[in-house]
Amino acid sequence: MDYYYATPLALFLAWTLAQGFTLLLALTTNRSRRKLPPGPSPLPIIGNLHLLGNQPHRSLAKLADFHGPIMRLKLGQTTAVVISSSDMAKQVLQKQGSAFSNRPVPNSVHVDNYHVSSVVWLPASRPQWKNLRKILNNYIFSVSKLDASQHFRYKKIEELVVYCQRSSQMGEAVDIGGTIFRTLLNLLSNILFSKDLADPYENSGKEFKELVEGLLLGLGKIDLADYFPVLKIVDPQGKRRYNSCLRKLLKLFRELVNERLELRKSQNDQKTDIIEALITASEQSPQEIDVKNIPSICLVLSVFQDVFVAGTDTSSNVMEWAMAEILKAPEVMKKAQAELAEVIGEGKAIEEADILRLPYLQCIIKETYRLHPPAPFLVPREAGEDVEVCGYTVPKGSKLMVNVWAIGRDATLWEDPLVFNPDRFMDSKMDVRGQDFELIPFGAGRRICPGLPLAVRMVPVMLGTLLNTFKWKIEGDVAPKDLDMQDKFGLTLARLRPLRAVPLPL
């Protein structure tokens, strides 16, 4: 028995000493051969992990103020390079994007080998990744497909208005984030499966929202197994068990796919949703689409930032932040409502084609993306080889982290960067589609979020509808200037406390 317990301890001590020696050797040799990016001095074993804190986006932004826009950190056994300026982001995402096109796979997403069929985590050089990306672009996010699904979006927005009208009549506050999430969830589920997954009056989407939020929050937190690979065997933080929600979501989508396959056997009338299109494509071109992988495709659509439900989760966060900023600045609400009344007509429905005629509404959304990007960091990239970036060597295997939160608050780019001021975009052609690196909430380059085309249609229409149908008041006796604007860190950047507001008649 003593030997049983002593052997792991001895192995751990030996590994610790070996790592300490390796770190010391790395710090004292070969420095003259290559110029590494600057960064804080690491501690033995843990490196710079202690510097991240509970809000790494803020901690790393402060460190970048001292060490510069390209900064090296030692996180356990891994090397991370943090990008904190628009110029550096353009360099690594566009000019040298091919060298950083792959992504390190987190320990937690090894659940059920999910990562091997995910467009998010597959290497961009793999034919499977290219095929999945083609499916997303052709069957879901193409202009023709989005145009064809407009009626779904308008229907769900009408249901949102009815729900808010009921709350208005009863004088009750609306949970902005939760309500928007359910609306977008049902929009997604109808586009995918022609059915609702949530009832706003029964709060039935709450469990699904908690699953998605829990997964994204968990993925955003530090997992020691990602920084000390030897620990993957024991999974010290239980991340795989924690991400049992991943299995639950996969099970849900697998059941929906199987349900559709059974319906197709017994019914002649076919749906016009995405799952039908994928099944049909699988029958016509089995070499391109394997019907067995459709649940995995749907799971990707439902969970991560750069596909459908991630777009739903992040879009609900952006909507909640936008409403919070508007409620905190009543003059912004008045100006937006005046524009809507003049261009659309007070209380009238807004269509996607109207958005180009609403420049101030667009400015509000851009300013929200600047201050509150859907994710504080873009999904990390990985250097496939030693890469020279602006005179520095980024070592092979380094994790590349782009801090879009810091870029959006860079005082060298933005006047009064902490102030919510939509007018800063009024005379600017800057856009969020990945060409203006001062504002890249969806990323840039070949791995830009494929759900961007839906987000840029849906968010303005939903926000404009809420502002053109109701006046809004913060719940309780909270003064606008006292509204809590704290965030909580995860893969997405949500509000620490949900926003609750009362819709009032115009």
Distances (CA, A) of 282 to 129, 261, 262, 293: 17, 12, 16, 10
Q: Note whether 172 and 474 are within 8 A (CB).
A: no
Q: Which has the closest alpha carbon to 470: 160, 177, 199?
A: 160
| 423 token code pair | 């007018």
For 275-314, the three-class secondary structure string (H helix, E strand, C coil) is: HHHHHHHHHHCCCCCCHHHHHHHHHHHHHCCCCHHHHHHH
- Half-sphere exposure at residue 241, Cβ-oriented, CA atoms within 13 angstroms: 5
| 166 token code pair | 């009921």
Cβ-based neighbours of 309, under 8 Å, separated by 6 or more: 185, 188, 212, 301, 302, 303
Q: Note whether 306 and 447 are within 8 A (CB).
A: yes
| 146 token code pair | 């989005």
Q: Which has the closest alpha carbon to 60: 44, 411, 70?
A: 70
Q: Rounded distance, CA 244 to CA 108, Å?
A: 10
Q: Rounded distance, CA 115 to CA 111, Å?
A: 8
Answer left, alpha or beta for residue 314, where phi above 0 means left and psi between -120 and 50 means alpha. alpha
- Phi then psi dihedrals of residue 123, to 5 deg: -60, 140
Q: Which residues of 145-164 are buried (b: 16+ CB within 10 A; e: fewer)?
A: bbeebeebbbebbebbbebb
Q: Note whether 476 and 499 are within 8 A (CB).
A: no
Q: Please, what sign has the CA dihedral across residues 158, 159, 165, 168?
A: negative
Q: Note whether 503 and 472 are within 8 A (CB).
A: yes
Q: Rounded distance, CA 287 to CA 358, Å?
A: 45
Rg (CA), the chain: 24
Q: Which residues are annotated as a binding site for heme?
A: 449
Q: Which residues are annotated as a binding site?
A: 449
In the chain, the amino acid numbered 165 is Q
